Amino acid sequence: MLLLAISYLVILALCAALFFVVTKFAKVRSAHMAMCKDAAPIQDAEKSLKEAESRYHKLQDEYHSELQILRENERRLSLYELSVGTMDMSLSKTGFSAKSLEELELALVKVKEDIKKMVQAKTACVCSMGNDVAVNGSKAAARKLFNREIKLRLRCLDNEFKMANAVVDWNNVERLKERCERTFTEINNNGDLIKTQIRRQYLDLKLLELDLNHHINMRRQQIKEEEREERRRLIEIKREEERIERAARKAVRDREVMEALVAQELAKLDPADTEKALLIERMRNKLEELKKAEVRALSMAELTRAGYIYVISNETSFGNGICKVGMTRRVDPNDRVRELGDASVPEFYDVHAFVYSDDAPSLERHLHEKLEEQRVNLINRRKEFFRVNPDDVIGLIKKYDPSLQIEHAQIG
């Protein structure tokens, strides 16, 4: 009986525990369902976010792909925009700059002969289809077809180079070369079907021909500019000679007038008049200065190549580090600097050095050659501005002739 009672109590306890567990589970399940219901928008949002991120990354990939295509098309388009306002990304550098016009022309003749030999030897463009191919049962017809394909491909590439040689200039030579190389690649890619390829050696010779034609044109233009500059220099020399002759005559007149004044004052001089004696002494000093000016003017009149090299700058107008290195045959070089300052700049030039030379044109030419890489204006070579420190120019002058006297002045 006791055992039965204990069993009954245990069953009641288990039922109570089971009831509690079931009740608790129902509450938890209800809370879970409520939380799931509340979290459903968040889950939907997270799903939408992942989809948006996936679309975003896909759009990014498409954008970068399309952007790359756009840049490539822009690059290809730039090869055909060769107007004056456009320029290559990098300037052409070859070993032809130090060669004379005659050497360049001989090199061009040699290149043209090599090109002609390749065409005649049928090594410029080669078909690798073999001799066993027949067209409509005829091997001769096949050879005729292949020869026509070879001529067509060479003609296409030659026409591209012909156009390039017609318009090549310093600002587009690199783009024209790239354009010709692209044409070469496209022609060869289109020849894969019949195994017809233009040889790289032929392309290299054509590119060399283009380079030589470009440098020959540039050298001829440079020679014309030098001839114009020489004519301008001769005209300037003639004008300067006239100025110097006038300055020499004036120096003689000034000296004669001062000598007459000194002689006149000496005749009237009272030994006890100290003030008068001081005045005469100042007049004598002035007379000595006039005699020196006369000697210098007469010397420059006799030396047709004598003159001054000036090194000047104008930071207000042209910025820091820009110097003008030129020549004048004026008796007073400051006159030339004042003339330049009055012409087209808001401020006067700062004068770093005046250097007198018996052969000023040669010294000027030497300096311009040494500073060629620093020249600011590559088109108009009469613009004598260089990106150089004045002390470096003075150093070149001292190295050229240590005996030259360097004068410093300031125009303001």
Does residue 286 register a pLDDT over 90? no
Contact in structure between 294 and 255 (CB atoms under 8 Å): yes
State pLDDT tens for residues 205-232: 999 999 999 999 888 888 888 788 778 8
CA distance 241 to 304: 7
The answer to whether residue 276 scores a pLDDT higher than 70 is: no
pLDDT tens digits, 323-336: 999 888 777 788 88
pLDDT at 412: 46
| Res 115: pLDDT | 94
Q: Cα torsion at 297, 302, 305, 310 (round to 10°)?
A: -10
Of the segments 96-110, 278-292, 376-390, which one has the largest average pLDDT value? 96-110
Q: Which of 53-62, 73-82, 174-183 has the lowest mean pLDDT?
A: 73-82
pLDDT in tens, 102-146: 889 999 999 999 999 999 999 999 988 877 777 777 878 878 888
Rounded Cα gap, residues 376 and 403, in angstroms: 30
The C-alpha atoms of residue 197 and residue 71 are separated, in whole angstroms, by: 29
Q: What is the pTM of this model?
A: 0.55
What are the pLDDT digits (tens) for 82-93? 665 566 666 565
Q: In what order do the strands lie in the sheet with 385-387?
A: 385-387, 322-328, 307-313, 350-357, 406-407
Quick one: 88 exposed, middle or buried, by C-beta within 10 A (0-12, 13-18, 19+)?
middle
Give CA–CA dist 61/130, Å, rounded: 46
Highest mean pLDDT among 27-36, 90-99, 144-153, 258-267: 144-153
Cβ atoms 318, 385 nearer than 8 A:
yes
Confidence (pLDDT) at 299: 61
Q: Tell which residue, 347, 374, 363, 356, has the closest CA to residue 396.
A: 363
Task: Please give the average per-residue pLDDT across 376-388, as a whole number.
Answer: 76
pLDDT given for residue 411 in this prediction? 46
